[in-house]
Amino acid sequence: MLNQKNFKFILASASPRRKELIGHLQIPFSVLTADINEESSHTAPDLFALEIATQKGESVMTNLKEAGSTFAVSADTVVSLDGKIFGKPRDVNEARAFLLELSGKEHSVFTAVTMFLRIQDKVFQQGFVEETKVTFNNISDELMERYLATKDSLDKAGAYGIQGPSLTFISRVEGDYANVVGFPLSRFVNEAQIFFEKHLEKKDMWLNYF
């Protein structure tokens, strides 16, 4: 019989920002990363992100050595403008090109989250995608170069991190701020509750299982 504290929580992401956000839940978790190509057959940004997030989680679940009840969570974030997907830039020059395209415009940030629940010999899966709108001011040449010099752009989708010096040119955020950081924590809490209740057929708060 499954009781509280039976589950292990795994974050299938190397992102320090996601690790920090998950840490706000005040429950124990471990980090396991997936080595995948991050390629998708989808061109729609929400479906693209969801497929990559799912691939990450599936890879971790496949390679999981430990037995027992497990809850694994993976995520992927993309920036999109007029249907074009902006991932992480390869270098400073590509980061500059990304930011020039986004300058003075509103774009969307999609973060897909996939949850995996292993109970005995069964694995259940569920995912969702959150969208947040972000508007940039026109980025002057000087401000652009000052931002690029911080190197903040190089490991982030769309070549910017909202929690850093890019705030010098972000004028508006419509939706979940944490989603732009890389993980829609508030929605995740609710989605995980629904997921646990569905498969455990209990109304206990899902956070109590860790």
User: For 30-39, 74-83, 132-141, which range has the lowest pLDDT when averaged over its residues?
Assistant: 30-39
> Maximum Cα–Cα distance for the chain, whole Å?
62
For the chain, the distance separating the N- and C-terminal CA atoms, rounded to the nearest angstrom, is: 15
Any idea of the CA torsion for 127, 205, 60, 83, to the nearest 10 degrees?
Answer: 20
Secondary structure (3-state) at 139: coil
* Assigned CATH for 8-209: 3.90.950.10
Chain centroid to CA 167: 20
Confidence of residue 66 (pLDDT cuts 50, 70, 90): confident
pLDDT for the residue 91: 96
Residue 68 and residue 117: Cα distance in Å, rounded? 11
For the stretch 138-185, pLDDT in tens is: 999 999 999 999 999 998 999 999 998 999 999 999 999 999 999 999
| pTM as predicted | 0.92
Distance CA 12, CA 115 (A): 10
* 75 beta partners: 113
**What is the enclosing helix (H) or strand (E) of 175?**
none
Identity of the residue numbered 56:
K
The domain spans of the chain are 8-209
Residue 39 tokens read as 């390629």
pLDDT band at 4 (very low <50, low <70, confident <90, very high): low
pLDDT tens-digit map of 16-26: 999 999 999 99
Contact 148/95 with Cβ under 8 angstroms?
yes
Is pLDDT at 32 greater than 80 in this prediction? Answer: yes
Distances (CA, A) of 191 to 35, 57, 110, 129: 26, 16, 16, 11
Question: Is 1 a residue whose pLDDT tops 60?
Answer: no
Q: What percent of the chain has pLDDT over 90?
A: 81
Q: Please list the active-site residues.
A: 76
Report which of 133, 134, 132, 144 is spatially closest to residue 168, judged by C-alpha positions: 144
